[in-house]
Chain A
Amino acid sequence: MSMEDSREGKLTLVTTKPCFGLPTGCPNCLPVYFYLKFARLPFDLYFNSTFPDSDQIPYVESGCYVAYNNEKGGVIDCLREDGIVDLDSDFRTIPEWISMKAMVSSWLVDALVYELWVASDKTAVQKIYFSDLAWPIGTILHLKQSYAAKLHLGVTSENAERIETEIYSKASLAYGALSTQLGDGSFLFGDRPSSLDALFLGHTLIALQVLPDASVLKSKLLNFSNLVKYTEKLSTELIDPSAQSAVPAWSRVPSSEGNPSTSTNKSGGFSNWSSKPKSKPKKERTEEEKKFRRRAKYFLTAQLVSVLVFLSLFGGSDAGEVDFDEGDEGIDYYD
């Protein structure tokens, strides 16, 4: 399927399951959902509830085309580079936009990770990620992911309080800056949405609807009424399963005109961690190398088979004799 076909074909967004009244409860998946909604691209939702520790989810697919979360800086960047949709073409040259996106992608992501995996009673993440897994698997993966979250944040028993203070302080600063930037506007920059709006909206919705009322992060967010109104307004407009919108001209970019990404967006968030280091991509092999390796494999296999045949046909000891086990004497086996 050519890129033209993948653009024309309907997209499917694969996320974790819906919960807490949201189309997906995962902080990594919800921004992608909103990004596609902002772009008014028709797409279907498909839920994967059996792979909570995958760094591939969320991903967007259309036929043979797939944009994984752990490639090229995330799904949103993949969609831009592949010419599917680009909401940021007018914003990438604005320094404030770049720095705010970096702030949302780092400080606020870390704050939400801390709140969900460390500070809270873990019932939220249990419901988001592990409720569809059989009990022993869900329990073990929950423990594994909690440990990975603490490792990512650098939280230990000695520095837990300091890290917590630092995280909440940065979150407050971020909310303050974003609130000032938003003002009374509909979007954070200008009169059209960008990936920054998608990221931030995903964050605020999770903070407001998933976190418990006793959450410090939630209470900090609630101090900024314009951010809360912004969240409520956009979520009401966008979270509508029946909405099917046409594609406006400004959301499409031909792949040949795509600009190199200057985004400092992380490749996802907490669920992208893996305690295993990622393997390096295999070097491209030429046809000649592949042929050589295949022939070498056949040659070695033939040598090994010849040796084995020789040994078994002409070898000394008879390996076919039954090895009588003295320990089995006197034991009867029923047929």
Chain B
Amino acid sequence: MARSWSLEGGLKLKNMFGYADVWDGSVSYGWDQTTEVSTGVSLPRMKKWPSPVFARASLLSQDWQKFSSYKEQALGFGLGLLSTRNHELAYNLTWRNLTDPSQMAGDSVRRQLGHSLLSTLKYTFKIDKRNSSLRPTRGYAFSSTTLFAGLSPDSRSARFLRQECDFRYALPLGFYNTALNLGVSGGVIFPWGKGFLDRPSSLPDRFFIGGNTSPVCSLGGPSSVLGFKCRGLGPTELRRRSKDQPDGDGDSSVASERDAVGGDLGVSAFADLSFDLPLKALREAGIHGHIFASTGNLVKLTENEWRKLSTKSFMQSFRSSVGCGLIVPTKLFRLEVNYCHIMRQFEHDHGKTGVQFSFSSPL
């Protein structure tokens, strides 16, 4: 699965067997509490196959204990079947285990703890005609990722369909290198198979909105609304009540923390106006300013919740934020220092008005 890593170290060996094969091993650390150890091989030409083929084995660990009371370990094998500039098709077989060492998880997270096998086929179509991924001022980008899980004769493997789309458009305004960036992202996940209407979706595969990633650069589905903390927007549920917590005058929702459980349907959008700053030194360093507005929503559809959803209620439950800030596009990453003002959030969201840092890796 293509990921954006903040820190990565690797070793590469080329042409070990004389087929222009490239072997590599790497250790990576990502923004989203993810650690991965992987090894793989890629063949630029395999007989008459039109594109390079790669195979990869990886061991991945994600720690979501703080936000959702679970940890994820995944042992996976991936096979890249098609890899061109615009199209990517890959098969993955993954053994995933969700645990809760803290034993504080809420009801729906507890139900999902355990082992599962994912046999998935992932197709990505991507076209990026923007002039820059760090500071786009012209062009458009579109990305569509379809993940089909359950490609296995064994009905006990995880079965769901996940679709996400991103669209970005950068419009130059013709003065001070000003550009208006618009973007919208959406995603939906739904289980399939026997009894799918009554089954919840797979927790780690749901959509979670929030965090420090700038939506301008990334094309990874609805993942970020500036001003909201990691997994800070969307459905939540009460955690287990600890024996040490006071009764809180009988109000358990105040005494207990909450787990972010993600959503099955997520939408986010933003408008970002970037401009050069008056100081020449800052312009030469590429440091520029921006003002932005972003919005997003995340809802549950499974377990018959979709029956209660209406367009009106969905539109009325959008959260939003506005702000301004400085962008420092370094060669390694894009750093944003923003002042965010939360315009709208709901009771259990974690949006915070104030100064925030945001990081993005150029992809």
Contacts and interface: CB of A to CB of B under 8 A. Distances in A.
Interface of A: 1-2, 5-6, 14, 46, 48-51, 54, 56, 61, 63-66, 68, 70-71, 82, 132-137, 141, 279, 284, 301, 305, 308-309, 312-313, 318-320, 327-328, 331, 333-335
A333 B51 contact: yes
Interface string B13-36: 011000010100000000000000
Given A1-B241, A134-B157, A318-B331, A331 B20 contact: yes
A54 B99 CA distance: 9
B238 interface: yes
Interface residues of B, number: 47
28 contacts: A6-B241, A14-B110, A50-B113, A50-B116, A56-B103, A63-B241, A64-B106, A64-B241, A66-B103, A66-B241, A133-B117, A134-B117, A134-B154, A136-B117, A137-B115, A137-B117, A301-B357, A305-B357, A313-B285, A318-B331, A319-B331, A319-B332, A327-B14, A327-B15, A333-B44, A333-B52, A333-B84, A335-B86
Contacts of A70: 103
A97 B152 CA distance: 53
B331 A64 contact: no
A39 B50 CA distance: 69
Interface string B100-113: 11010011001101
B245 to A, nearest CB: 10
B344 interface: no
Contacts of A136: 95, 117
B44 A331 contact: yes
Interface in B203-229: none
B19 to A, nearest CB: 11
A19 to B, nearest CB: 15
Of A50, A70, A135, A333, most buried by chain B (CB within 10 Å of CB) is A50
A8 B215 CA distance: 47
A309 B115 contact: no
Contacts of A333: 44, 51-52, 84-85
Given A50-B115, A134-B117, 5 more contacts: A50-B113, A66-B110, A136-B95, A309-B330, A331-B44
B330 A68 contact: no
Interface of B: 14-15, 20, 22, 44-45, 50-52, 84-86, 95, 100-101, 103, 106-107, 110-111, 113-117, 152, 154, 156-157, 238-241, 243-244, 247, 250, 252, 256, 285, 328, 330-333, 335, 357
Contacts of A313: 285, 328, 330
A260 to B, nearest CB: 15
A1 B242 CA distance: 11
A309 B337 CA distance: 13
Contacts of B113: 48, 50-51, 54, 56
A70 B103 CA distance: 10
A208 to B, nearest CB: 29
Nearest to A325: B14
A290 B256 CA distance: 18
A113 B279 CA distance: 76
Nearest to A278: B101
B127 to A, nearest CB: 11
A82 B116 CA distance: 33
Contact of A64 (B100, B156, B250, B252): B252
A327 B20 contact: yes
Ranked 9 nearest A-B pairs via Cβ: A50-B114, A51-B114, A312-B330, A134-B117, A64-B241, A134-B156, A320-B331, A1-B252, A319-B331
A153 to B, nearest CB: 25
A82 B240 CA distance: 14
A308 to B, nearest CB: 7
A121 to B, nearest CB: 22
A313 B331 CA distance: 8
Contacts of B152: 134
Of A1, A14, A320, most buried by chain B (CB within 10 Å of CB) is A1
B12 to A, nearest CB: 10
Contacts of B50: 334
Contacts of A137: 95, 115-117
A49 B112 CA distance: 10
A83 to B, nearest CB: 12
B103 A335 contact: no
A308 B331 CA distance: 10
